[in-house]
Chains A and B, each alone.
Chain A
Amino acid sequence: MQHHLEKYFRMDKLPHIWCPGCGHGILMGAVVRAIDNLKLEQDKICVVSGIGCSSRAPGYMNFDTLHTTHGRALAFATGIKLAKPELKVIVVTGDGDCAAIGGNHLIHAARRNIDITTIVFNNNIYGMTSGQYSPMTPKGAYATTAPYGNVDRNFDLCKLAMAAGATYVARGTAYHTNQLIKFIEDALNHKGFSLVDAVSICPTYFGRKNKLGNAINMLKWQKDHAVSVSVAEKLPPEKLEGKFLIGKFHKSEEPEYVEEYDKIIKKAQEGRK
């Protein structure tokens, strides 16, 4: 680690508990690098998570941090942001945490366009409970609760967030780290609800169950199967089969929730209805 980044970590809490080869360390590093690049004030950042592998990240990060109940990170974060708008609120969540048990909070945080940046550490599996299928496990893939192949269809989380009203949506991968840092920077700079689907790797459960090889093989798989959204536009559909899109999918300017509520306070205090 570069020495100047150490201040963003609770060095006495490292090494982390993630399995060898897990992509989450890369993603956590990307979040911290984005914060450093933007020179954000460390004492005004609050990192919130739910439960799962991803959600252990705030424990290692040297900010005000909150490790909440399963799936509820965005609901806790909404309380923090609305009560103290000067805080930069970052939610680190997993695919199960955010899209299954927390799905309702995700769509409504997006709908409100509240100024929270959500980074989904998406490893396509439930890691902490040892490999059950998540809403992002591809159909047909294997998991401990899908011993004959997953019958569920998986979400495209970026499309879901966009449809719900998120005003910044991007997807990056653990392999394309520099690009991912850029997306997180954009998300942090964005006023409104932003979501970055950060595709991780889980060699221990997803990889092993689906015979994808070791961490290096899985990162190579990401390299070979991720197609940039701008490139994809020029490709015929058959070339995109089995591939997944990365890139900035959406950015728009819409009224932000906390600012809109401030107008309500003003209106009420002026005695207008």
Chain B
Amino acid sequence: MENNVKLMQGNEACVEGAIAAGMRFYAGYPITPSTEIAELCAEKLPLVGGKFIQMEDEIASMAAIIGASLTGVKAMTATSGPGFSLKQENIGFAALTEVPCVIVNVQRGGPSTGLPTSPAQGDVMQARWGTHGDHPVIVLSPSSVEETYYVTVKAFNFAEKYRVPVIVLMDEVIGHMRERVKLPDLSELEVVDRVKPEPGKKDYYPYEVDSDDGVPPMASYGEGYRFHVTGLIHDKTGFPTRDPQITDRLIRRLINKIECNKYDIIEYKEESLDDAEIIVLSYGSTARSAQRAVRMAREEGIKAGWVQTVTIWPFPSEVVDKVCGKARTIIVPEMNLGQLVLEVERVAAGRLKIEKVNRVDGEMITPDEVLQKIKEVK
């Protein structure tokens, strides 16, 4: 068992998790601070018979993983903010055509080229609303190297289960930090594969849903189903339609297949919530500083509690609901000027006080800064 313990980076854990989840195709374009993910995929995928390709740009990388996934292969790309922006149109394509895939965004500082090797958490809203139109999305954000491994496995499982692009929203601290990781025994790891139509089904409709979860079975190219996939609004046959009713039903189904399954998707971690008067809610590497700050506050006799939202989208509303009756204040530290806090404000709806701790200078938020805020609001 001990040889399953390794020292590795977040980016490395992401690749290990992806391969364990069955990823066999990676297309990407180099961008800091996600580069190690591409480099490791280039090295490791051929060893398991998988394929790596460095495409000509970020848009092409996103396109290539959708193409690969349509052949039945689990596929991933990784990037950072500027590349993530470029991928957005094709992420929308994957959402509408219900093609499973995983997009890793190791966030960096600033708009535009910004701060290439400095941490930030400024892509929370881009991850939710980056592509145009109403669309489903799942976004997961790990706070440690080990968690990155499991979050990446989960990302593939959700992608396959719900036929949706899943975003792993990391930050540079997690991507580049080295930590001790205990890898699981692969036989114990839950790996989900997409549901396929019954073999030889003659009247296969690629977007016909007959299950409660709202997810249609997915055939692969080359298996004789001869189905059509288009980014246009389509009916159950996969062909374009402008029928308002069918259009409405499709968009609502896409949203609902995530919304109705949110209790399966949502994961959060909590500590000392029971009697807490001040809650610190955070995600990614900032959640680590928040946790430390809460522990320091407890040592000083302050009734503080901690929440980490591992799932960012759909937003874990029930955790905010749960503390609203009991706590006085929620503090939301994040490395942006206030993005996830908007969701906290929405759910809290004036029921408790909300405070922010923000940094946009390319430096991470320290436990002391969070502790100082806890003391301020005490």
- Report which A residues bind B (CB closer than 8 A): 10, 13, 42-44, 46, 48, 58-59, 62-69, 72, 75-84, 86-87, 104-105, 107-108, 261, 264-265, 267-269
Contacts and interface: CB of A to CB of B under 8 A. Distances in A.
B93 A82 contact: no
Contacts of A59: 228, 230, 239-240
B66 to A, nearest CB: 6
Given A58-B228, A87-B222, 13 more contacts: A59-B239, A64-B225, A75-B55, A76-B67, A81-B67, A83-B24, A83-B25, A83-B71, A84-B72, A84-B73, A86-B222, A105-B56, A268-B47
Could you say which of B51, B69, B75, B240 has the most chain A C-beta atoms within 10 Å of its C-beta? B51
A78 B51 contact: no
Given A75-B64, A78-B55, A108-B56, A69 B230 contact: no
B324 interface: no
Contact of A43 (B63, B224, B228, B232): B224
A83 B65 CA distance: 9
Nearest to A268: B46
A79 B59 CA distance: 12
Given A72-B59, A87-B71, A79 B221 contact: no
Contacts of B55: 75, 78, 108
Interface in B66-108: 66-73, 75, 89-90, 93
B229 interface: yes
A107 to B, nearest CB: 8
Contacts of A83: 24-25, 51, 67-69, 71, 73, 75
Interface size class of chain B, counting residues whose CB lies under 8 Å from the partner chain: 35 or more
A227 B82 CA distance: 47
A67 B228 contact: yes
Contacts of A269: 46-47, 49
Contacts of A48: 67
B57 interface: yes
A66 B24 CA distance: 21
Nearest to A79: B67
B226 A64 contact: yes
Contacts of B90: 69, 72
A92 B64 CA distance: 17
Contacts of B229: 65-67
A87 B231 CA distance: 22
B129 interface: no
Interface string B145-159: 000000000000000
Contacts of B93: 68-69
Contacts of B64: 75-76, 78-79, 82
A62 B226 contact: yes
B223 interface: yes
A76 B63 contact: yes
Chain B interface helix/strand/loop/mixed: mixed
A67 B231 contact: yes
A267 B49 CA distance: 11
A261 B228 contact: no
Could you say which of B46, B68, B221, B232 has the most chain A C-beta atoms within 10 Å of its C-beta? B221
B47 A80 contact: no
B60 interface: yes
A20 B298 CA distance: 77
A63 B221 CA distance: 9
Contacts of A77: 67
B27 interface: yes
A25 B221 CA distance: 25
8 contacts: A10-B228, A69-B89, A75-B61, A75-B67, A78-B60, A79-B65, A84-B73, A268-B46
Contacts of B59: 72, 75
A158 B307 CA distance: 59
A79 B230 contact: no
Contacts of A69: 63, 89-90, 93, 231
Report, nearest first, the 3 A-B pairs whose CB atoms are least far apart. A79-B67, A79-B64, A75-B63
Nearest to A64: B221
Contact of B75 (A43, A79, A86, A87): A79
A80 B70 contact: yes
Nearest to A111: B56
Could you say which of A10, A42, A43, A67 has the most chain B C-beta atoms within 10 Å of its C-beta? A67
A265 to B, nearest CB: 4
A271 to B, nearest CB: 9
Contacts of A42: 226
A267 B45 CA distance: 12
A270 B226 CA distance: 37
B206 to A, nearest CB: 10
Contacts of A87: 71, 221-222
A29 to B, nearest CB: 19
Given A46-B222, A75-B55, A82 B25 contact: yes
B222 A82 contact: no
Contacts of A104: 56-57, 60
A86 B221 CA distance: 11
Could you say which of B49, B57, B66, B67 has the most chain A C-beta atoms within 10 Å of its C-beta? B67
A79 B63 contact: yes
A97 B90 CA distance: 15
Contacts of A264: 46
A264 B48 CA distance: 12
A265 B66 CA distance: 22
